[in-house]
Amino acid sequence: MPSELNLNADSDASPDRFRKIGRDPKRAERIARKSLSAWQDIRYRLFANKLALFGMYLMVAVVLFAIFAPLFSHYNYFSNDLDRTNQAPGFRHWFGTDDLGRDMYVRTWKGAQISLFVGVVAALIDLAIGIVYGGIMGYFGGKTDEIMNRIAEVLYAIPYLLVVILLLVVMPPSLTTIIVAMSITGWINMAWIVRGQIMQLKNEEYALASRALGAGPFRILFRHLIPNAMGPILVTLTLTVPGAMFTEAFLSFLGLGVQSPIASWGTMINDGVKAMTVYPWRLLFPALLLSLTMFAFNVFGDGLRDAFDPKLKK
């Protein structure tokens, strides 16, 4: 009994205000939302994530400063100035000076260069080995997969840091040694990610079509499958960088990595810890920068992973 329905007194929902629309076949077919390609969608979702965006800006800023800050300074990272040791941050030296009077501003950004270089190169080496190894494991499957996987498992079980330190004992301490040592077991994670992706993708229609047209396994793998597995690969790549940066800082902190006068965040933090009670800025700047950079990469990597994950789509 609609007439007895207790409507609000001031409501003017009288029947004559309504109109029957009926079915409009054109309207049913209308595309309500702008159609987005997969990459556009990912970019949109990544940029909608404020924290990830912040991480990205931070990353870009650190990279730019690392490249340009040492270039546009009157100081360099190795010259001593024994008249001006342990200066507090000020107009002359923005981040102060260390115990040998070296400019901390330039040294901090020089340290950023080293750290980023190690992080990116180690991640790229992992990428190269991981894609080839994981691609072969995933594509060929069967016995090949079994044997290669076993080898990877044994390598993976060997504690990473012990291998790095052992190699540093044998080889001269240098950036190359650190990167080589990190790459020995670092690629395995990437290889497994790629393997999983390839196993999923290799029976897709486009791979079958390519095979039917006579393409060889490596052509299918690298032209068709790997580009389609790029999402998880990119995420793993981004998240490898902070790990590699940490390892470099860790080794340099212990005196096993980059040697003076080359600036590394690890060595600078080690120096800073010793002087922390009297000259706290010597610890503050490298420590802050290392943490901020690792934060930026972690946050951006997480955001990237969420953007690539269709389950989290709203």
Binding site for another protein (CB under 8 A): 51, 146, 149, 153-155, 157-163, 165-170, 192, 195-196, 242, 246, 249-250, 253-256, 266, 269-270, 272-273, 276-277, 280, 283, 287, 290-292, 294-295, 298-299, 302
Residue of 93, 55, 89 whose CA lies nearest to 74: 93
Nearer to another protein, 56 or 290 (CB): 290
Determine the straight-line distance between the first and last CA of the chain, rounded to whole angstroms: 40
Nearer to another protein, 81 or 309 (CB): 309
Nearer to another protein, 165 or 175 (CB): 165
Instruction: For the CB of residue 66, give the shortest distance to another protein in the complex, in Å.
Output: 18
- Burial, 311: exposed, middle or buried (Cβ in 10 Å; 0-12, 13-18, 19+)? exposed
- C-alpha angle 153/180/264, rounded to 5°? 125
Instruction: For the CB of residue 69, give the shortest distance to another protein in the complex, in Å.
Output: 21
Nearer to another protein, 129 or 163 (CB): 163
Instruction: For the CB of residue 203, give the shortest distance to another protein in the complex, in Å.
Output: 18
Nearer to another protein, 221 or 299 (CB): 299
Altogether, the residues listed in the chain come to a count of: 314
CA 183 distance to own-chain centroid: 16
Nearer to another protein, 78 or 246 (CB): 246
Measured from the Cβ of residue 146, the count of other Cβ atoms closer than 10 Å reads 10
Instruction: For the CB of residue 228, give the shortest distance to another protein in the complex, in Å.
Output: 20
- C-alpha angle 233/111/281, rounded to 5°? 125
8 A C-beta contact, residue 173 and residue 258: yes
Nearer to another protein, 76 or 200 (CB): 200
Instruction: For the CB of residue 307, give the shortest distance to another protein in the complex, in Å.
Output: 16
Q: How many angstroms separate the most distant Cα atoms in the chain?
A: 96
8 A C-beta contact, residue 221 and residue 135: yes
Structure tokens at 85: 């040791």
Instruction: For the CB of residue 57, give the shortest distance to another protein in the complex, in Å.
Output: 16
Instruction: For the CB of residue 201, give the shortest distance to another protein in the complex, in Å.
Output: 17
CA 168 distance to own-chain centroid: 26
Tokens 């972690």, residue located: 298
**Per-residue exposure over 69-95, b if at least 16 CB sit within 10 Å of its own CB, e if not:** bbeeeebebeeeeeeeebbeeeeebbb
Instruction: For the CB of residue 174, give the shortest distance to another protein in the complex, in Å.
Output: 16
CA 15 distance to own-chain centroid: 60
Nearer to another protein, 163 or 175 (CB): 163
Give me the phi and psi of 97, to 5 degrees please: -130, 165
